[in-house]
Amino acid sequence: MPESDFLSIIREQRKNKKNRKFTGSFIDYLNVIKADPSSIKLAHRRLYDAIIIHGTQKMDLADPRCRNLFEGNSIPLYDFYSSHFFGMENAIAKIMRFLKSASLKGEESRQVLLLMGPVGAGKSALMERTKHALELLEPIYHLEGCPIREEPLHLLPRSLRDKFEEILGIKIEGDLCPICRHRLSEEFNNQYEDFPIIASSFSIRGRRGIGVVPPIDANTQDSSILIGTEDISKLDLYPEDDPRALSLNGAFNVGNRGIVEFVEIFKNETEFLHTILTATQEKAVPSPGKNAMIYFDGVILSHCNEAEWNRFKSDHTNEAVMDRIVKINVPYCLELDEEIKIYKKILAGSDFKAHIAPHSLRIASMFSIMS
């Protein structure tokens, strides 16, 4: 292609990307909500809608799998997952049932979703696919410069919230983080209508709205991984309880309004998981230092192997964390035709181009299932 053609493609992409970005004042944002109140969503509702929007269907009652595996019940199939996962309809249906109840502010909205199963069953792949759903969404509105990308409606004082809820037809939940509260007072003289609002997308690589907590060695575990730290370089300028000294870059800060994923959650020490208690039940996480609690709105996802789950469950001192977990089993696929589809998907995603002898995948799948 000529160089000019390459440049035209690049310029067109930049032009469209800039057009999608929103910048404006708090008043502009209120007008956006008034035009479309459905844009105000909590994290569970946002994730549920992000998956549902791709389409759903019911399993055909005439399908032999429906009769043999699901007792004649027509379970829902979700297009977002169907082309990537095979033989996992039951586990996916349970995940979506959890998200649906949580999106309606049921008890699940205050619990952690745990995928438990043997090694290689597809737990991590399910998590990655679920997180990807947020990346496909349109950008969300948030306060400019806010480290946790919080909802702009938090600017409204509580004395006015009832009136605005009635006008806009929405429910306002949450409070300003310490950093934005300080900025509102010092930079804008409490004139919250002038606070700038922007929009940005979710990104796994960019750590925007999707936080990941890998297993941490017990000797190096630090709560700062979850809730951020105090910037030591600023403690010479500001006192310890000054919000300007905060660095809110922990997983719960990053995953606010999105997802926080705990990879192999029970490889961590129990004390490291105590932040989950307040994040689920009180919808708040501690701030570093001596500042106030920070409102948290996010979906907490996790996964583990069966041996680690059994070890964690056997310790009765872990009851507080156990009470906040909804466990979904993700077993190995034991259906021959579905196992063959898994192998074909893996081969299609690889660079393997050699000829495969007839029936090889079927024999390999049979061996895998029988063993």
**What is residue 291's predicted lDDT score, i.e. its pLDDT?**
83
Given phi > 0 = left and psi -120 to 50 = alpha, else beta, which region is 149?
left
State the Cα angle at 66 between 63 and 68, rounded to 5°.
110
Residue 193 to residues 185, 189, 312: CA-CA distances in angstroms?
Answer: 12, 11, 49
What tens digit of pLDDT does each residue of 298-312 get? Answer: 999 999 999 999 999
Rounded to whole angstroms, the Cα distance separating 43 from 62 reads 37
**What is residue 19's predicted lDDT score, i.e. its pLDDT?**
56
**Which residue stretches of the chain are H helix?**
3-20, 26-35, 43-52, 64-69, 79-82, 89-103, 123-135, 158-168, 178-186, 224-227, 251-254, 275-281, 306-314, 319-322, 336-348, 360-370
Q: What are the domain boundaries of the chain?
A: 9-39+139-200, 336-370
Model confidence at 18, in pLDDT bands (50, 70, 90)?
Answer: low
What tens digit of pLDDT does each residue of 29-60 get? Answer: 999 999 999 889 999 999 999 999 999 998 87
Name residue 68's amino acid. Answer: N
Rounded to whole angstroms, the Cα distance separating 157 from 1 reads 57
Helix (H/G/I), strand (E/B), else coil: 114: strand
Q: Is the pLDDT at 1 greater than 60, yes or no?
A: no
Which is it for the CA torsion 84, 53, 39, 168, positive or negative? Answer: negative
Residue linked to tokens 């919250």:
192
What tens digit of pLDDT does each residue of 92-145 get? Answer: 999 999 999 999 999 999 999 999 999 889 999 999 999 999 999 999 999 999
Model confidence at 294, in pLDDT bands (50, 70, 90)?
Answer: very high
Non-local CB neighbours of 96 within 8 Å, separated by 6+ positions: 48, 51, 76, 78
Rounded to whole angstroms, the Cα distance separating 45 from 170 reads 14
Name residue 198's amino acid. Answer: I
What tens digit of pLDDT does each residue of 327-364 get? Answer: 999 999 988 999 999 999 999 888 988 888 999 999 99
What tens digit of pLDDT does each residue of 54-75 get? Answer: 999 988 777 777 777 777 677 8
**What is residue 26's predicted lDDT score, i.e. its pLDDT?**
94
Per-chain mean pLDDT for the chain:
90
Non-local CB neighbours of 71 within 8 Å, separated by 6+ positions: none
